[in-house]
Structure 1
Amino acid sequence: MRSNSPARRRALLAMAGLCLSAILGTAQAAEPLKVVASFSILGDIVREVGGADVSVTTLVGPDGDAHGYEPTPGDARKLAEARVLIVNGLDFETWLPRLTKASGFSGQTVTASKGVKPRAFGSPGEGHGGTDGHDDHDHDHDHDHDHDDDHKQGHHHHHGADPHAWQNLANGVIYARNVADGLAAADPAHAQAYRQRADAYIARLNALDASVRKAFDAIAADRRKVVTSHDAFGYFGDAYGVTFIPAMGVSTDAEPSAREVAAIIEQVRREKVPAVFVENISSPKLVQQIARETGAKVGGTLYSDALSKPGQPGATYLEMFEWNARQLATALQP
């Protein structure tokens, strides 16, 4: 009975083993790369570039304020399971080093802003000045929200790099490239797919960038001035020729003094600023007060540091940017 011979049985077992190995290998290859993104805008970029090859978890979700975020034990568990962590950098996620240490994360960290030319807070493109008191106001707030300690140690982060680099679509292109390179390094089997998706996404970013530039070029330069809740739109201002006057400086939770508010109101009147805007992560009260006392028009909500919830106008990075640009351009028209 040759069919039951030892050699035959060994051959059948070997074949079964090869089939099992192939099945397991396919299943392993099909498992998406586990990626954690620090906040919602980055999470969306990762989903665009990663496609079905990644499983993305976002720490600071839609309408969330990444400046003062308090990580949870659940965040530590998510990070511990991830193979890739994608961060903004430029001192934006001041709470993240503690979380990374607590989670024991041992994967690859990708800094999306790598290669971006940083701008400094208070540089041209914002309504900062030393003669109207507004400069003093801006210097009262920082990212760490620990003013006394930071002042003693000289850690005024807003004197350094502005972290809101995604507010210029040219920097969004850099983010997409860095995300693609990071995913490709962690998952070489899908490297080509990551780069192809990044190329397609970058083409959409570049098309929107050209459209936004055209829209603001059509508006008289002396009308391109707006008040926003906090100092998040400097890159936008530099790229598209808009002056932003931040009512709350860098921080999103510190209340400016009555003197600081009065200085902003005086500046808005003096410079005939046509519009004021609230943000999805900030209280509208201060901006509404400025509008009441100056007659400036209240524009629609702007999305600064976070996307909107699904179904709202700024649910993706591209939608957010297009919405912001449209709201600003409409409000600044004569």
Structure 2
Amino acid sequence: MNLHPRRHTIAALAAIGALAFQPLTHAQTSAPVKAVASFSILGDLVRQVGGERVQVDVLVGPGADAHVFQPSPSHAKQVAQAQVVFANGLGFEGWMQRLLDSAGYQGKPVLVSQGIKPLPSEGDDHDHKGGKHDHHHHHGGADPHAWQAVPNVITYVANIAKGLCAADAAGCDTYQKNAGAYTDQLRALDAEIKAIWATIPAAQRKLITSHDAFGYYARAYGVKFLAPQGVSTDSEASAKGVAQLVRQIKKEKTKALFVESISDPRLIEQIGREAGVKPAGELFSDALSDASGPAGTYVAMMRTNTQAMAQAIRGR
């Protein structure tokens, strides 16, 4: 008689064992999808769409400049382990193909700018004889900074969702839902930026930045940017270009002068001294700040930049 309780115990243990085993196999099938994003802004967008199903590694981190990035063996290892790689495209990551080759990555990277009509990189007002060559060399004549206009990022988000669905069909509903919710946020952000600029007369919407990264922003929001450097930060500003810019600042009485978070501030400071204008602060062009900074996400970056520009133009 006293064997029965033991038999019950064994049965109960077997049942618990079976229960304990099931969640484990479930956990194994739903290990996060490994994604690699080329730079910090794109990393944030992939996280917004991927949510908890996706682990995102970023190659060019917050505050770093993707134009002059040199991939290391640890970057190649991240790419080799990735199930999906996201890149901006439009020639922004000149180093990407070499990295994919050295990592032995079999797939094709998802180019998030697909479907966007690129601006030509000649968007600068100065005759940079040297700079122009650099642009063609690096960007094939296209301005890669398409994320500076919020409507373009809505296209990025759709491309990211498609790329994640292809890598993880089981999570597709989740990705589409996340992309839809984030797109609503982006539409609201776009309207907010337009509303801020609507309070400033068009003739006053003029700024100076260290490199020509805001062409898409200029077109989307009706702002004029002047920059001593070309589209890529690794093209040098010519002395003639700088002198021309100083004359232009004085002539147009431009008050808003900004350094970009990724650039050497000395050039802008020199221009400011020669033109008699004090730099108004820092803008985030090609990289987010770290999480504790004012531009830890794409939405925060666009909001921070817009508010800083508008305040500088209003002379605050």
TM-score w.r.t. length of structure 1: 0.85
Deviation at 1:332, TM superposition (A): 1.0
Gaps of 5+ in 2: 1-14
Structural mapping, 1:48-197, within 5 Å: 48-123=48-123, 127-128=124-125, 134-136=126-128, 139-140=131-132, 142=134, 155-158=136-139, 160-197=141-178
How much does 1:250 deviate? 2.2
Q: 1:139-288 to 2 correspondence within 5 Å? A: 139-140=131-132, 142=134, 155-158=136-139, 160-288=141-269
CA distance in 2, matches of 1:165, 1:41: 12
Q: TM-score, normalised by structure 2?
A: 0.90
C-alpha deviations, 1:138-182, integer Å up to 9, x for none? 735625xxxxxxxxxxx4445621100000000111111110111
Q: How does 1:4-15 map to 2 (within 5 A)?
A: none
Alpha-carbon separation, structure 2, partners of 1:119 and 1:252: 17
Q: 1:167 to 1:138 in 2, by over 3 A?
A: farther
Amino acid at match of 1:286: L
Give the conservation status (yes or no) of the 8 Å contact 1:37–1:56. Answer: yes
Aligned residues: percent identity? 48
Q: Which sections of structure 1, spanning at least 5 residues, go unmatched? A: 1-14, 129-133, 144-154
Separation in structure 2 between the aligned mates of residue 62 and residue 214 of structure 1, nearest angstrom:
28
Q: What's the CA shift for 1:295?
A: 2.5
Q: Residue in 1 aligned with 2:3?
A: none
Alpha-carbon deviations, 1:256-284, whole Å to 9, x = none? 23222111101111122121100010011
Question: How far apart in 2 are the matches of 1:52 and 1:220?
Answer: 44
Determine the C-alpha separation between the residues in 1 that align with 2:119 and 2:184. Answer: 25
Partners of 1:20 and 1:302 in 2: CA distance: 52
Determine the C-alpha separation between the residues in 2 that align with 1:16 and 1:252. Answer: 61
Cα distance in 2 for residues equivalent to 1:306 and 1:173: 18
Report how many aligned residue pairs link the two structures.
Answer: 303
In structure 2, distance between residues paired with 1:72 and 1:328: 36
